[in-house]
Structure 1
């Protein structure tokens, strides 16, 4: 026990010393000659990140899924920001994006950064979520990011630049009701680890940003409630009867509370992405928000401990007693 305690203290001291050293020696690289691609810029983290990088002086290629997203950025951004249509699951869109970026870059310059932000929600109980939904969430959140990265990797290698993947704390620990989303984010974390180790030999660094609970369009405006109701309404009669409308109403109430408690300061994520791209000593992993750091600690606990904590503090409603 004494050895374990001393080892823990030594590790904690080393971590604190490293953090002090990093922040005392950290600086910023010049942003005004850097070209960065950001996906999912219609709203939320992607939009704010694109605008933040534009504000800092970067040239930004902002991939949007809708014309409305493009028009919104054009109204408030400088000429350094170039919004264009990009569906990261569409091979033709990706090829066109590579052409746009290649033609815009100076002949002697590569792409400094990729920010893989585009993603979709994937909530719902495992018994409720059809396999097609699992495939769709993974296609966007994981394979879309893989496709973007591999397509633009030669340009990033040319500049010995950086890749920033927007993950989630749910890519470290999976909670009830989020299996599809967690699967996609676990996969993105695994991809990031492998990519980081492969790209080290080319001078390219890979960083993950792992937000906790933030009030993005994926969960706001009744989005989560609508998604939950749609899943329930598509169930067969027997499964509906097992859970009951009373159960669904309680679940919707819990979702509303969760959304209200989520942070509205999305700029924290944009600022973190900027640090990952422009810091002289960027971290490999960024945990954003108290709940993100807390969940990361819970993920390190023995399974029986973490399961107990989830059963006490991260609960979901139970079906009617007569069905248990």
Structure 2
């Protein structure tokens, strides 16, 4: 009986593997719009898809990003300036894309642009701090998607949303996880809405990878800036040495965690775009697969304990 079950599992695994190896034809006729291509995942994905033969439309926040990307790409790749927090910028980019793709429509949009700061204890932040990140990580994703959705429906293409494993569990305070939970919810609702139109909506949920989003120095500087802004009453509650202890803990805990192999994420993005049968969700990174996702399914009392047991305690914490 055991051998029979094992054989069935093996056959199912082989079938899934074979099914997922199939790639879409006519890549040179397919346009892919990627946000956040100045650096990191977006930059690597743009170069990778260009080499595979796709027609890439790479949006960058800076002129330098556009220039540097064009230097190492083929003539198929085009760039466009984009600020995902500005409606006018999103509309201009959408008009450029509409002219570019013509009657073929847009094969895919990859909502990759995102930020990780400001981030810190919830009571250190103002509503403007939350709004700033939500504008980029959530509202930007929604508005960019809606601006090109008619073109994607025309091509029966794909929407690829880059969320995070922290859209499944919130290990720290601040708006980052909130924004990524929002992306997950938007992704799910859009996937079900677009199903009748033949549009696939996929989600990438990376773990810790070495990008500007997980830059320890950047995060430490954010903590320092937030500390300078909070009221004296709050500083007294946390204690004068709290900031220093948090910086030390961050360095000890997280400096060795980020995975430097960004192609693990890019490969998942490429599969979501190019596979005939893409997965609904991708969770690149061993930490995502074997720690964060399992932790998200555990009872709250267990996950709370594991996530807070080593935290720096405020000076006036209840004993």
- Equivalent positions of 1:287-298 (< 5 A) are 287-293=283-289, 294-298=291-295
CA–CA distance in structure 2, aligned partners of residues 97 and 114 of structure 1: 12
Match of 2:49 among 33, 49, 53: 53
- Equivalent positions of 1:150-165 (< 5 A) are 150-165=146-161
The 3-state SS of whatever aligns with 1:211 is coil
Name stretches of at least 5 consecutive residues in structure 2 with no aligned partner.
none
Which position in structure 1 is the counterpart of 2:125? 129
Deviation at 1:180, TM superposition (A): 0.6
Change (3 A) 1:251 1:24: same
Q: Is the 8 A contact 1:242 1:323 kept in 2?
A: no
Change (3 A) 1:99 1:295: same
CA–CA distance in structure 1, aligned partners of residues 178 and 317 of structure 2: 32
Change (3 A) 1:264 1:311: same
Q: Is the 8 A contact 2:85 2:139 kept in 1?
A: yes
TM-score with structure 1 setting the length: 0.90
Deviation at 1:311, TM superposition (A): 3.1
CA–CA distance in structure 1, aligned partners of residues 9 and 192 of structure 2: 22
Q: Is the 8 A contact 2:216 2:250 kept in 1?
A: no
Over the aligned positions, Cα root-mean-square deviation in angstroms equals: 2.1
Q: Is the 8 A contact 1:28 1:278 kept in 2?
A: yes
Q: Which runs of 4+ in 1 moved over 4 A?
A: 12-19, 321-324
CA–CA distance in structure 2, aligned partners of residues 83 and 277 of structure 1: 19
CA–CA distance in structure 2, aligned partners of residues 262 and 228 of structure 1: 19
CA–CA distance in structure 1, aligned partners of residues 11 and 192 of structure 2: 25
Change (3 A) 1:147 1:16: farther
Match of 2:212 among 208, 212, 217: 217
TM-score with structure 2 setting the length: 0.91
Name stretches of at least 5 consecutive residues in structure 1 with no aligned partner.
1-9
Q: Is the 8 A contact 1:176 1:316 kept in 2?
A: no
1:85 and 2:81 correspond? yes
